[in-house]
Amino acid sequence: MDRNELIKQILLKKSFLCVGLDPDTQKIPKHLLENEEDPIYEFNKQIVDATAPYCVSFKPNTAFYEAYGLSGLHSLEKTIQYIKLNYPNHFLIADAKRGDIGNTSAMYAKAFLNRLDADAITISPYMGSDSVKPFLEYKDKWAIVLGLTSNEGSADFQQQQLNGKELYLHVIETCAKWGNENNMMFVVGATKVQMLSNIRKIVPNHFLLVPGIGAQGGSLQEVCKYGLTKEIGLLVNSSRAIIYASNELDFAEKAANEAKKIAEEMKIILDNNQ
């Protein structure tokens, strides 16, 4: 999906919500575990159907599938195929946080952007240029580079001063030169909103993927205050707060309610942004 199409979908839906698909068998409803042959896929399918009207993007996190071995990876493939088939206008992010030397990153790019046909993949930038560039070689596909993450550990390296500037700013500034606004986004955690204004000075137009809303405590209003642009420039992700809103029979309905609440808040923000 290209940038224009993504913006079009956001304006059409008045939502820039991304729903994170992190299925954990400790948390998904028991009736699925007991009755379904592939409970992870069934869980995802119902969550996707229920939340699709309120979001423009889905983001399966690969860890939650790899943890269940081949069967989990099969659930991931089926989930992605289901979304591609039924919701082709939703922006599909493989949250994989990959990155390796050039020839190896090329293999990861092939795995996620070609074989699985995701629109985007998240990338860990620690290994530098040749670890990032292979992900930029696919038309209308995106590399979403970790900039400033939402977790406690982001203080250990990302927020340290590198040549007089925080590492995350250095990473965003440097990586932005390897790609452009049409093939690169950055992950910027919602729990660090005051830093968003510094990031916007460096990348005024790039889309930012913002996790940390909901379970991790980030505020949508604050994120938008510092991060929203005329062309939106934000995909805001919520995973746990939506998909685990209930673990009873009504889990999909409750997930839809949570997604709808966020989408309504987004609509007001977008209407005021005109």
Interaction of residue 154 with a second copy, rule CB under 8 A: yes
The question of whether 97 is a catalytic residue gets the answer: yes
Print the SS3 string covering 157-196: CCCCEECCEEHHHHHHHHHHHHCCCCCEEEEECHHHHHHH
DSSP state of 232: B
Residue 111 contacts by C-beta under 8 Å, 6 or more apart in sequence? none
Residue 228 contacts by C-beta under 8 Å, 6 or more apart in sequence? 234, 269, 273
Among 36, 77, 181, 265, binds a second copy (CB under 8 A): 77
> Which one, 15 or 154, has the nearer CB to a second copy?
154
Stretch that binds a second copy, among 49-57, 136-144, 158-166, 219-227 (CB under 8 A): 158-166
Q: How far apart are CA 225 and CA 241, in angstroms?
A: 22
Strand partners, 123: 98, 145
What x/- string results for residues 79 through 108 when contact with a second copy is judged by CB under 8 A? ------------------xxxxxx-xx-xx
Among the listed residues 13, 45, 59, 97, the single catalytic one is 97
> Which one, 2 or 100, has the nearer CB to a second copy?
100
Stretch that binds a second copy, among 5-13, 81-89, 145-153, 194-202 (CB under 8 A): 145-153
User: At its nearest, how many Å lie between a second copy and the CB of residue 137?
Assistant: 14
Dihedral over Cα of 190, 78, 43, 22: its sign: negative
Dihedral Cα 95, 91, 24, 124, nearest 10 deg: 10
User: At its nearest, how many Å lie between a second copy and the CB of residue 6?
Assistant: 24
Identify residues 106-135 at the interface with a second copy (CB under 8 A).
Answer: 107-108, 110-112, 115-116, 124-132
Q: How far apart are CA 111 and CA 105, in angstroms?
A: 10
Distances (CA, A) of 166 to 62, 148, 154, 199: 29, 10, 11, 11
Stretch that binds a second copy, among 40-48, 151-159, 244-252, 255-263 (CB under 8 A): 151-159
Q: How far apart are CA 218 and CA 210, in angstroms?
A: 9
User: At its nearest, how many Å lie between a second copy and the CB of residue 151?
Assistant: 4
Element (H, E) at 81: helix 69-86
What x/- string results for residues 166 through 195 when contact with a second copy is judged by CB under 8 A? -x--xx--x---------------------
Distances (CA, A) of 134 to 137, 158, 161, 228: 6, 23, 28, 29
Stretch that binds a second copy, among 7-15, 46-54, 143-151, 243-251 (CB under 8 A): 143-151
Identify residues 7-36 at the interface with a second copy (CB under 8 A).
Answer: 22, 24
Binding residues for a second copy, per CB under 8 A? 22, 24, 61, 63-64, 66-70, 73-74, 77, 97-102, 104-105, 107-108, 110-112, 115-116, 124-132, 146, 149-158, 160-163, 167, 170-171, 174
Q: Which residues are catalytic?
A: 97
